[in-house]
Chain A
């Protein structure tokens, strides 16, 4: 292990920044976290809180997801699963047609190959697992290791457990370098220099802008997503009518399907049900919001007909920091020693956060990382 007496600045108090702070702190660094907004104020807080091992591309993605799921279980044990509303309740992928069922079957095979658990379900078995699903579905699959948690609670608890000095409402204007070209700290939006030998860029959709201050181009593009929240349907005293996170097969098949918004239905610990979209490629024109919300609601009702009689309390949109190859950017800046990137997680920041934080901590301290960092190198697009 190299020097552990260093000070690290993590830019971004989303779940990825929080996980970086947590593992850097455990590796012996003193950590400061800066964020221009509140905790989990970006994509983290805008998501539905699902942790997905399933549906990952075989190879590096599945490996990173697997490492991350294991670390989430560790974090749950360390911080208290209840305190972050971590529930390993499994997910269902639902096929509406025979063709979709074949694609789900392929996903089950891929999941097993990646060392994960997966079970194919016929229509009857699907209804036995999730009785309120529509009756005429073709089948699906059950992924028992998929989980969910409360994104904001998890981020806040990770930050608290890290012992980091967390400063909200403090934006970072630029990464500052010294005479050798190595990092010497960051300049805040109030003009102060925060000195640090290690800077981690976990700024989510703002990560590209921060990297540009040292001349690095990170191809991060914000992609819009929506979440609808229903009125509470369950609680600790009454069982919620939806038990699993439910994805439509249409939401997970295809690599780059163009404008798509396919529903995911996530029951929460609080009793509400979140209805989100896995992918949405419409631009940022707010005028498009209502048709997208209508479509999402209609897709959720197609899955669970009883939702037609349930009110939506509110809805919001968020922006996912996507990359061209849908892989996150984790590793050293191509030119500036001491600057590390942990960003570009798209809609999977929550799932990949712990493995990302552990990978950054291993790379920073010179330990052997648990996963091969090469597929995530931030310089791969140069």
Chain B
């Protein structure tokens, strides 16, 4: 069995919107996770490890590892890989435990 999609049906691109990340406006599409928006904009790290201070970003990408935590609309420890981007969302780098 082949997993090649062949020719996918053409869909109309839904209307894009923006979110902000550390003050920068980033383009987002409906259905994209926050992590997908960040990656599409070339952002690969958005948290510092609480002990070493080393950069952290997407690791498992499916909600299991809790590596991709960041702060969304003031709420800390959100998993970027699971939270869908929404218009006007304010996303910030999380330093350590973020509290």
Q: Which residues of A contact B (CB under 8 A)?
A: 231-238, 271, 311, 313
Contact = CB atoms under 8 A, between A and B. Distances in A.
B50 to A, nearest CB: 3
A273 B53 CA distance: 21
B77 A237 contact: no
Provide the main secondary structure of the chain B interface: loop
Given A233-B97, A233-B99, A238 B50 contact: yes
Contacts of A311: 77
A231 B66 CA distance: 9
20 contacts: A231-B77, A231-B97, A232-B97, A233-B97, A233-B99, A234-B50, A234-B97, A235-B50, A235-B51, A235-B96, A235-B97, A236-B50, A236-B51, A237-B51, A237-B53, A237-B96, A238-B96, A238-B97, A238-B99, A271-B97
Interface residues of B, number: 8
Contacts of A313: 66
Interface in B40-62: 50-51, 53
Nearest to A233: B97
Contacts of B96: 235, 237-238
A143 B81 CA distance: 43
A382 B34 CA distance: 63
Interface string B86-99: 00000000001101
A235 B53 CA distance: 11
Nearest to B48: A237
B34 to A, nearest CB: 17
Instruction: Across the A-B interface, give the 3 residue pairs with the lowest CB-CB distance, nearest first.
Output: A235-B50, A236-B51, A231-B77
